[in-house]
Amino acid sequence: MPQAHNPKRPSAGAIALGAVPFAAMCFSVALWDRVHPMVLGLPFNLFWLICWIALTPVFMGIAYRLEKPRRPGGTGKEVKSDRP
């Protein structure tokens, strides 16, 4: 019988890092919902969203690096299976 894969829950720090871009794009609308000023030729609201879309992988990468030491063995390297 195959063993069930039981993944660990993400840490609170990783969840918080994942929530930052989400909150910045979704819940800050009242702060930046305006066309002017223009930034780099774009309306500010579009510039804000593009910046957070570009920053999201940075936050996800930091969250990933935070989770790597929590893997079995603590090295952050893939665990090889004995199964073929």
The per-residue pLDDT of the chain, averaged, comes to 78
**What pLDDT does 55 receive?**
94
Q: Which amino acid is at 5?
A: H
Percent of the chain at pLDDT > 70 equals 73
**Domain ranges within the chain, ordered by starting residue:** 12-69
Give the span between the Cα atoms of 55 and 42, in whole angstroms. Answer: 18
Query: Exposure of 17 by Cβ count < 10 A (0-12 exposed, 13-18 middle, 19+ buried)?
Result: buried
**What pLDDT does 2 receive?**
62
**What pLDDT does 75 receive?**
56
**What pLDDT does 42 receive?**
85
Query: Exposure of 16 by Cβ count < 10 A (0-12 exposed, 13-18 middle, 19+ buried)?
Result: middle
Q: How far apart are the first and last CA of the chain?
A: 15
Give the span between the Cα atoms of 66 and 68, in whole angstroms. Answer: 6
Give the predicted TM-score (pTM) of the model.
0.65
Q: Which residues of the chain have pLDDT under 50?
A: none
